[in-house]
Structure 1
Amino acid sequence: MFKGMSQDELVEVLEKHCKVIHTTFKRTDRDGLSKVLNETLEAYEGKLIITSKDARYQEYGVTEFFEEQKDQLDVHVWESALGKENQKIAERADVASCSATSHLPSLAP
């Protein structure tokens, strides 16, 4: 279905789908990512966050952002070794953070 689509076309599909499922879509560049993350977390009053282990978080500054906010945020990285404990944490989480290969690489440096 999405084969042959460009990164920008895939982002447009994502943006339209977010409207359908009543999800807020925000697009930014690499330099603005921390600001947008912070604004979004504040808007949703997010304090407990569950996230995936993704090497791109380091590349895009997300890991650094979480470390800088450690006094305000409780960030849990999903670890398969924890099994069901991850699910319990996810149920309590205010925000879930994940990445999608269709949009992170398109962030401009």
Structure 2
Amino acid sequence: GLIQAPVFIAMFTAIKKLVSSGDSFLWIQNIASPDVILTVVAAGLTYLATVAGPNMTAQGKTMMTWLPVFLTLFFLWKLSAGIGLYWVGSNIVSVLQSIIMRRRAQTLQA
């Protein structure tokens, strides 16, 4: 959404600077190659984002909870860590956004 745009711009700028300078970022030595730890973190955050998201029917909930997690693992396993960093940043924003929206909905219902 619109809230994710600043995160995307910040991550893009940071990744561009890291790649050009040759520095490492956190534990990632080469941001252009895949990182297993980042892949697992991204998959975990994807799971949290789907669980924290809107309520669904029981049938749809199972598929819509696990399919994004497996797709995250599948794609980030081979893609660069830079994309994984964006994915993690985006999921953090999604989780926070879902938590805020749930709290507002609960406040309005009370």
Q: Whose helix proportion is higher, 1 or 2? A: 2
Q: Whose strand proportion is higher, 1 or 2? A: 1
Shared fold by TM > 0.5? no
TM-score normalized by the length of structure 2 = 0.27
